[in-house]
Amino acid sequence: MLSSINPANNILIKNYDEMTSPESADIISLADKAFKNWKETSFIHRSELMKNAAKVLRDNSEEYSVLMTIEMGKPIVQSRTEVEKCAWVCDYYADNAEKILADEIIKTEATKSFVSYQPLGVILAVMPWNFPFWQVFRFAAPNLMAGNAGLLKHASNVSGCALAIEDVFRKAGFPENLFRTLLVKSKNVKDIISNTKVQAVTLTGSVPAGKSVAALAGSLIKKTVLELGGSDPYVVLEDADLHQAAMSCVTSSLINAGQSCIAAKRFIIVESVYDEFEKLYLEIMSKKRMGDPLDENNDLGPQASLQLRDELHDQVLRSIKQGAELILGGTVPEIDGAYYPPTILRNVKPGMPAFDEELFGPVAALIKAADENDAINLANKSIFGLGASVFTKDIKRGEQIAKEKLNAGCCFVNDFVKSDPRLPFGGIKESGYGRELSPFGIKEFMNIKTVYIK
């Protein structure tokens, strides 16, 4: 049994029957059969259906937004934004897939030689609960446009979202079994990956989950793309616009109640402006409202579950025990639901959970650096490498730091890290490998085929 529980009040929304292994195997076979026909379709046809999917999303935005909010606690305004972003990625690949995947002529001694992109087949996506629609659509839109079929193993607490996404593609006119949801628990993923009809796996989730999936897929010589955890550093230099920097930092740390791999987590401020930045950050953060995520006036809702809330609180307490100082929040409210308030820790240093681990919630770690070099060294002192930002009025300086000095897959200057269908998204180190979105993302699960004609 898979249970969906509203984290705002801990009330059961619905129980879902778990699929048996034979049922899952039958769905995989049907997806493989659908793929064999789908790969022969034209880009024009696929594009029409993907445009339909974007329309279905927009036409049913409020229904999908409320579903997301009650299943995992996302503020309703952010849920609506997420639905629109899913429609955007559908439009992007509908408009650009044919051009991106066109044959590329390579001049050689041959009469003709070129690179052709051919779909692999059935691709499994193991997806998390934090962006229950967006994480799936940024996988599904490019892969269906490329000619692949998709299987979704979603997080158990957002099974309603998983089935709704499957229905989006059905309503848009895609073949019945081209994109299917598998209502199974994590322990059953091994059997799905081992199925010979599954050609590759993409996973967004924790480092342990990524290692497990990568090890199994690797033993079967199946390609993987992994987007794992993050502890994104935001470097604030002495010449930064401090108010703008503080606003961007607070926004990033509270998106989705901080439950994002690319949420700002470590704020590294050079000593000469540290006090002023801390004052601004505290002032902005303390005004944010926590409460019912269906109330448009609230800035953050609950954590996705009581267990996740309690794990986050334990990280905060352990950091304080090791010398971090609590200056905002940090207490579990005596109300129903998995709520955790906006929290700020200062005097955070390497070795503390707030520095070394991923804090998946609205907790900010303030870190003082002597100068630019010290700040960059502290930023890179992490097992993660997903996103990073630097704030400075010297654009050339910021560009050089982002390009050459910060060790992450996505580096931003004077803005918070975000994903965009037009740009590649992914990390390095224990944040994973491979890329989603952009032309790079759609090519991850393709046979990049050399054709040589003498």
pLDDT digits (tens, 9 = 90+) for 376-412: 999 999 999 999 999 999 999 999 999 999 999 999 9
Q: Residue 54 maps to which CATH number?
A: 3.40.605.10
Q: What is the DSSP letter of 423?
A: S
| Total structural domains within the chain | 2
Q: Give the pLDDT of residue 218.
A: 98
Q: Give the pLDDT of residue 153.
A: 98
Q: Same domain, yes or no, for 295 and 384?
A: yes
Q: What are phi and psi of 129, to 5 degrees?
A: -90, -15
Q: Please report which helix (H) or strand (E) contains residue 212, including its range.
A: helix 207-219
Active-site position among 261, 278, 411, 436: 261
Residue 404 known to be catalytic? no
Rounded to an integer, what distance in angstroms lies between the CA atom of residue 121 and that of residue 447?
A: 10
Q: Same domain, yes or no, for 216 and 236?
A: no
Average pLDDT, the chain: 98
Work out the average pLDDT over 292-314: 98
Region of 373 on the Ramachandran plot (φ > 0 left; ψ -120 to 50 alpha; else beta): alpha
433-to-224, 419, 425, 429, 449 alpha-carbon distances in Å: 8, 16, 10, 8, 22
Q: Where residue 345 falls among pLDDT bands split at 50, 70, 90? A: very high
Q: Same domain, yes or no, for 175 and 254?
A: no
Q: Where residue 209 falls among pLDDT bands split at 50, 70, 90? A: very high
Active-site position among 71, 82, 166, 227: 227
Q: Same domain, yes or no, for 217 and 99?
A: yes
Residue 410 known to be catalytic? no
Q: Residue 314 maps to which CATH number?
A: 3.40.309.10
Q: Give the model confidence (pLDDT) of 117-156 as tens digits.
A: 999 999 999 999 999 999 999 999 999 999 999 999 999 9
Rounded to an integer, what distance in angstroms lies between the CA atom of residue 204 and that of residue 126?
A: 7
Domain that holds residue 202: 2-228+431-453
CB 342 within 8 A of CB 254: yes
Q: Same domain, yes or no, for 72 and 201?
A: yes
